[in-house]
Structure 1
Amino acid sequence: MSGKNFQGLKEQAEGAAKNAESTLGRVTQDAVNQITDASQKAIDKASKMAQDGVEKASEQAAEAMSGLGKKCGFKK
């Protein structure tokens, strides 16, 4: 094999390696973005559920205190 042919093959191999590296980088970044988005959605949903639970518990506590106040004669 002549040096010129070898040089051409070497350049093709280097080009293919750079393309593969670039593709892998894009695919990896896409996967990271998808995982990040999914994680954020899960965190948002859990936060909303917790907030709703706290609000419901607060309402129930307020109702209980109001009922207790009425029973004790503090409220009419």
Structure 2
Amino acid sequence: MASKGLQDLKQQVEAATQEAVTAAGATAQQMVDQATEAGQKAIDQVAKSTQETINETANQASEAFSGFGKKLGLLK
């Protein structure tokens, strides 16, 4: 009878351990997913900012060359 009780206890402990491992794994996966999403958002923001800077610089250069061409009489 005592061995039956120990067997039941062992099964309960194993089941609880498996549930804890599964929950921990799910939590770890959620953390990885959130970190990945945050990293992607940061990369997207850097790319957007860089593109905006490139566009602004190109526009300024174009305006500068246009002004220079007008001063030389090459452009109207």
TM bin (shorter chain): over 0.9
Q: What TM-score do the two structures reach when normalised by structure 2?
A: 0.94
Aligned to 2:53: 53
| Unaligned residue ranges in structure 2 (runs of 5+) | none
RMSD: 1.1
Identity %: 43
Regions of 4+ moved over 2 Å: none
Aligned to 1:13: 13
Counterpart amino acid of 1:34? Q
In structure 1, C-alpha distance between the alignment counterparts of 2:48 and 2:24, rounded to whole Å: 36
Counterpart amino acid of 1:37? E
Q: What TM-score do the two structures reach when normalised by structure 1?
A: 0.94
Q: How many residues are aligned here?
A: 76
| Partner-residue secondary structure (3-state), 2:75 | coil
